[in-house]
Amino acid sequence: MYARLIEFSGADPDKRENAIQTIRGTVIPMLQQYDGFAGYIALYDATNRRAKAILLWESEETAEEAEKTLAERRQKLAASVGLTVESADLYEAPVVEFEGARV
């Protein structure tokens, strides 16, 4: 499994709920259309106005193929909720274990 760690700045606490709605209503359904998409985790740090997202992919190939179109989409979607994309790095995820339901 592979994980793309995306770092954002400008996470305005007043826009948090709008960002969550955009993630659930637009981002995740869009990602589900890509072959190999395996999951999404959103992280939020209100104190430092930062956010991160972890996109899980079944393989390096599916992650890289998706990135060909996702990079531009990510910039536009982030800007629509007041965020700036700082980085989008791909990592091998040799251990991924989840217990529990969607939050």
Whether pTM > 0.75 for this model: the answer is yes
Residue at 46: amino acid letter = A
Distance separating alpha carbons of residues 87 and 47, to the nearest angstrom: 20
Which tens digits make up the pLDDT trace of 32-60?
999 999 999 999 998 999 999 999 999 99
CB 40 within 8 A of CB 54: yes
- State how far the Cα of 13 lies from the Cα of 44, in Å rounded to an integer: 9
What is the tens place of the pLDDT at every residue in 59-98? 999 999 999 999 999 999 999 888 999 999 999 999 999 8
Spatial CA neighbour of 91 closest among 49, 56, 41: 56
